[in-house]
Amino acid sequence: MAPSNTNPVAVADEVLQKSRVTVVGSGNWGSVAAKLIASNTLNINSFHDEVRMWVFEETLPSGEKLSEVINRTNENVKYLPGIKLPKNVVADPDIEHAVKDANMLVFVTPHQFMEGICKRLIGKIRKDAVAISLIKGMEVKKEGPCMISTLISEILGISCCVLMGANIANEIAVEKFSEATVGYRENKEIAEKWVRLFNTPYFMVSAVQDVEGVELCGTLKNVVALAAGFVDGLDMGNNTKAAIMRIGLREMKALSKLLFPSVKDNTFFESCGVADLITTCLGGRNRRCADAFARNGGKRSFDELEEEMLQGQKLQGVSTAKEVYEVLSHRGWLELFPLFSTVHEICSGRLAPSAIVEYTEHSARLPLL
């Protein structure tokens, strides 16, 4: 047998330097993210093949555990039925075990759970770990709004980029073409690594140096999507819906720049901005539930509609609208953002769905916009 020229030390170093990826979350979008990532880790030498996916354990009607079914069938039968995941996706119901070896953490859970998840992970992750958030939403604290990427960075002491875009998960799952935007702070090299991890021929990813702009676009568009759903539920037509989307984009941009003056105008023309707003107002879950809410005259709660229509997925827009309202109220900005304010007042039952077009009488009070 011919002697090998391979240096065992060099091989060991290469293995040690390979990045390990864990996806924290396994809902609809989390499962699709794992599918995208796992297809790339098999083909890019700088990543370990295996992609861990933390699963919040559930018992299915059959009596089986969700994580066990995912690993046996390579399919998330509850949140992404009918789509096969690559065999290198490993579902893990133990979050500490799922993250312990990973140096690239992908967070994709409902935003209201993130603070608790991050606190559980203190001291449990690698010192060289970096993160990316695919989460739309914010935490509202006494000192003001806290973006999820900032929450992750502050609690875990790690760098955190964001990925947002016109990304309805079920369409990406069947490999229909779409785009996304990675937002980063200073380290372009890390941003480019995230781009390599997610980018595929049907999922085109680009990077911009504007974390807050990218993240706020992904967060605030869900509030506008509720407004678009109310318009659809009341059969107000395409002209009205287009007007609501335009006004919503204007309020998104104005609030983003008031909260974070560093936000760049060009970010709103990336996939995370106008493209995400359009697709969410045409086909997202927030629009669908708001449509049903309006058709029922506001008499059925969003909690009830979420349970009935989303099969365990969470509706982000209603909680985000409440959080945005709290920020506006605290800062005395309610009259500057009549669309955002009205959406929350409809969701909370203070106004009828038809009020979504009645607020325009206040439009003269928008000097900042």
pLDDT tens column, 113-164: 999 999 999 999 999 999 999 998 888 776 678 899 999 999 999 999 999 9
**Nearest CA-CA partner of 30 in 78, 101, 87:** 78
Amino acid at 34: A
**Residue 253 bears catalytic tag:** no
Considering 136, 221, 241, 257, which one is annotated as catalytic?
221
Residue 109 near residue 27, CB atoms below 8 Å: yes
The total of other beta-carbon atoms located within 10 Å of residue 125's CB is: 21
d(CA 237, CA 17): 55
d(CA 38, CA 54): 14
Per the model's pLDDT, the better-predicted residue between 74 and 142 turns out to be: 74
pTM, two decimal places: 0.89
d(CA 81, CA 339): 36
pLDDT on residue 131: 98
